[in-house]
Structure 1
Amino acid sequence: MMKPVRVADYAELARAALPARVWDYLDGGSGAEWTLRDNRAAFERITLRTRVLTDVATCDSRTTVLGAALAAPIGVAPMAYHRLAHDDGERATAAAAGAHGMLFVVSMFASASYADIANAATGPLWTQLYWLRDRAALLDVVRRAEDAGISALVLTVDAPRIARRPRDLRNAFTVPADVRAVNLDAPVMATSHVAEDGTSAIERHSRERFDPSLTWAELAWLRERSALPLALKGILTAEDAELAVAHGVDAIVVSNHGGRQLDGVPAAVDALPEVADQVAGRVPVLVDGGVRTGADVLKAVALGASAVLVGRPVLWGLAHAGAEGAADVLAILREELAEAMALTGRPTLADIDRSVLAVPRPRTR
């Protein structure tokens, strides 16, 4: 079989390797999946302006975000249960990200311990959190992450509850008994392993365990208990970006949860300029959702992103060939970014600004 040459090549390989209900869980979105599709379509609407006769013999994609030195402005987005894709799970993902000097944001619901992930990692690690009703359980996760050397916290703020995802409802999706969120005690996760026709165990678990009363004021509680930098993931508006900065947040991730929360919100890359303009460089702004090529990374940087986070494609590579497959996905993105920088005449990240962007194509449905 010919080796995949584009990130998109890995999608069908992963689909063939995974049980249908697992593929639907990883691939699916909420509602009619309009936002899920638009995350990709939005990047395709953006075209690039090239500059020629520029010295691009060397293109330098290195950057630093919250003290993390990265070989490229690319990281792995937080996604639960990597062992659904491959038995080596997050350990393989950590090895893949580290091989390319990229960030890995570990999900609170990782299926490997923070210690095991850290042992496999050679690159920077952050961890994602959901705000649990049980604050002792939440703080326990933070302590485990700190003990493993995790260097930043990423609080997901767009999920006071998990949205209805039709594919999971049809499949009555339940986390298999042999795949566990091992950084949380078993009683906290019990509901996620209970099957019930016509429901999603993931959704039921969120209603039971996530605290929908979280407000800006509660962020101080977390800041008082951990000295790690805090990023908020799930910001889509200038208003919330300003509030985040006002409350001392260290970074923002522009995200619509990969099209898995409210269907009908803007594509993440469409929301990025509004947030980046409001923040005006006061804190780093990252973005996730729909990144499939190195040119997408360049577009996001041009619109104000310090880095992008890549989700599903990493799991596609993982499902197909473990750590090697995940590493290849990241390698393709890094190589394509260098190519896009050279062909637009932008040899460093500092050279990438909105002048590289042409007028977007009209939106179509």
Structure 2
Amino acid sequence: MSRSPTSHEDVREQKGEGMMHPDTNTVASREEHSRERVHQLLPEAGEKPDLYSLISVHDFEDVARNALAPKTWAFYSSAAADLVSHQANLTCHRKLLLRPRVLRDVRQVKTKRKVLGHESSIPVFFSPAAMAKLAHPEGEIAVARACGNQGIVQIVSSNASYPLADIVSAGSLGQHFWLQLYVNSERHKTEQLLQHARELGVKAVVVTVDAPVPGKREADERIAAENVAAAISGAVATNDKKGGGLGRVMAKYIDASLNWEDLAWIRRVSGLPVVLKGIQTASDAQKAVDYGVEAILLSNHGGRSLDTTQPAMVTLLEMHKCCPDVFQRLEVYVDGGFTRGTDVLKAVALGATAVGIGRPWLYSLCYGQEGVEHLIDIVKDELETSMKLSGITDIDEAQPSMVNTALLEPLIRGSDSHPWIRWKPNAKL
């Protein structure tokens, strides 16, 4: 029986290189060097190197692979089916090339940016991720404190391992929390959660729209699950005849009937700005404007939902081609595979208000709150360096002329119609 790969080197062993056709020699070289460096710092298997010996986001992943329990690693790192989308997310950013301007005074740079009216220290937020307590006893509590100290938004998962009230109370004065929402098939429970979130001072509700059912994550399924429960949603992980996938069995409560008309209900009950997480086409971005949401998060769920979906940056470029006015009507965020300050800079230059980071903060939790803060420091430092080397002093100066998009342009669709297939089914989409 073949196994589902859970790491980048496993992906390279498969036939084919995914939709982005990455330079696998370059990718392999970077990852081999990173693993070799980290492993040299490990006295024995299972021990962690000194936190401040880690100098990149990738280093945290290498440590987590060694330090986390096998089931936890499988749950955090796994992606759907053949990992095509997961790998495409990573390689996509390497296809966007920066075009620096020179001979500019870049002694001081400003990275602060408004995100839904709130000033963030960098144009980065933490995307929602479930069950952080599996990585560290303080879980989302440690993340809340780190985000508060660093001045960025934390999106709390519906499947967080601590109650929402505990997470919010751990934050600092004026800190902004958003709640990620999976709508419960027992809708009164969703209403109770939304009302509770508003009472706690949560600033926005982030409705996940790309996962009405869970994706097939084979690495997660192959390792038996222990009985763990999410404190907010109440979802419980158990084993069944399909396997022990935490992502699948904890998603059984999700209402697969959720549709566009339900957004008015969510807004009415919560009284909060609505962000749609999981927009993957320009058409749905335009529809989000029509339904009056405040922001959209372009995302393919980290490659964990439907495999072979396009990366967020491809969708971002598709929007510029098909519905450029959307950028003036709402805020546009992206996530999926962002591991470098250059990735963040390129996304902002191409119209994203801010960038979400997911798996990396889970991996950094191996070191608790201090690890999460160090991760943010690394991203901020890389962003500042990238800005200076690109010739800008304020993140608001980032613009499309800074990025050569030619290598991605063959992937960008100009409309929902296929460019040359004329056959159409009888049913309409």
Q: Report the TM-score, using the length of structure 2 for normalisation.
A: 0.79
Partner of 1:25: 75
Structure 1 position 183 matched with structure 2 position 226: no
Match of 1:170 among 222, 225, 228: 222
Distance (whole Å) between structure 1 residues aligned to residue 249 and residue 100 of structure 2 = 49
Return the offset for 1:273. Answer: 2.1
Aligned-partner residue type, residue 91 of structure 2: A
Checking the alignment, whether the CA contact within 8 Å between 1:35 and 1:267 is kept in structure 2 is: yes
What's the offset of the Cα at 1:361? 4.1
Aligned-partner SS, 2:356 = strand
> Closer, same or farther in 2 for the Cα pair 1:271/1:50, shift >3 Å?
same
1:249 lines up with 2:301 in the alignment: no
Contact 2:237 2:250 (C-alpha < 8 Å) held by counterparts: no
Q: State how far apart, in whole Å, the 2-side matches of 1:282 and 1:316 are.
A: 35
1:77–1:309 contact (8 Å) kept in structure 2: yes
Q: Deviations over 1:38-96 (max 9, x none)?
A: 10100111111110111212111111111221011011000011101111000101111
Alignment-derived partner of residue 217 in structure 1: 261
Q: Identify the residue that residue 404 of structure 2 maps to in structure 1.
A: 358
Residue number among 359, 368, 387 corresponding to 1:322 in the alignment: 368
In structure 1, runs of 5+ residues without a counterpart are none
Is 1:63 aligned to residue 113 of structure 2?
Answer: yes
1:131 aligns with 183
Other-structure match for 2:6: none
Cα distance in structure 2, aligned partners of 1:116 and 1:31? 35
CA-to-partner distance for each residue in 1:181-210, whole Å, 9 max, x for gaps? 2123x4xx2xx332225422532442x321
| Correspondence for 1:271 | 315
> Are 1:117 and 2:167 an aligned pair?
yes
Counterparts of residues 45-124 of structure 1 (less than 5 Å): 45-122=95-172, 123-124=175-176
Residue 273 of structure 1 contacts residue 304 of structure 1 at CA under 8 Å; is this kept in 2?
Answer: no
Q: Does 1:293 align with 2:337?
A: no
Alpha-carbon spacing, 1:353–1:212, altered in 2? closer, same or farther (3 Å): same
Contact 1:230 1:249 in 2 (8 A): yes
Match of 2:377 in 1: 331
Hey, what does 2:356 align to over in structure 1? 309
- How far residue 275 of structure 1 moved from its aligned partner, in angstroms, is 3.2
Q: Give the residue type in structure 2 aligned to 1:49.
A: R
Kept in 2, the 8 Å contact 1:241–1:278? The answer is no
d(CA) in 1 for partners of 2:119 and 2:152? 8
Pick aligned residue for 1:344 from 363, 374, 390: 390
The alpha-carbon deviation at position 300 of structure 1 amounts to 0.6
Distance (Å, rounded) in 2 between the aligned partners of 1:26 and 1:92: 17
CA displacement 1:208-232 (0-9 Å, x = unmatched): 3211121111111111212110000
Paired letter, 2:196: R
Match for 2:349: what amino acid? A
Which residue pairs with 1:281 in the alignment?
328
SS in 1 for 2:211: coil
Give the RMSD, CA atoms, in angstroms. 1.7
Q: How many Å separate the matches in 1 of 2:247 and 2:125?
A: 25
Structure-2 separation of matches of 1:220 and 1:152: 14
Greater mean alpha carbon deviation, residues 210-219 or residues 290-299 = 210-219
Task: Indicate conservation of the 8 Å contact 2:90/2:338, yes or no.
Answer: yes
Would you say how many aligned residue pairs link Structure 1 and Structure 2?
Answer: 354
- SS of the equivalent of 2:180 reads strand
Q: Which has the higher contact order (CA 8 A, sep 6+)?
A: 1
Q: Tell me if structure 2 keeps the 8 A contact 1:170–1:198.
A: no
Find the aligned partners of 1:20 and 1:71 in 2 and give their Cα distance. 35
One-letter amino acid of the structure 1 residue matched with residue 104 of structure 2:
T
Mapped partners of 1:215, 1:238: distance in 2: 17
Partner of 1:202 in structure 2?
A: 247
Cα distance in 1 for residues equivalent to 2:408 and 2:271: 45
Larger Rg computed on CA atoms = 2
How far off its partner does 1:243 sit? 0.7
Question: Residue 342 of structure 1 aligns to which amino acid in structure 2?
Answer: K
AA partner of residue 111 (structure 1): S
TM-score (norm 1): 0.93
% identical aligned pairs? 37
- Segments of 5+ residues of structure 2 without an aligned counterpart are 1-48, 410-429
**Alpha-carbon contact 2:128-2:180 (below 8 Å) kept:** yes
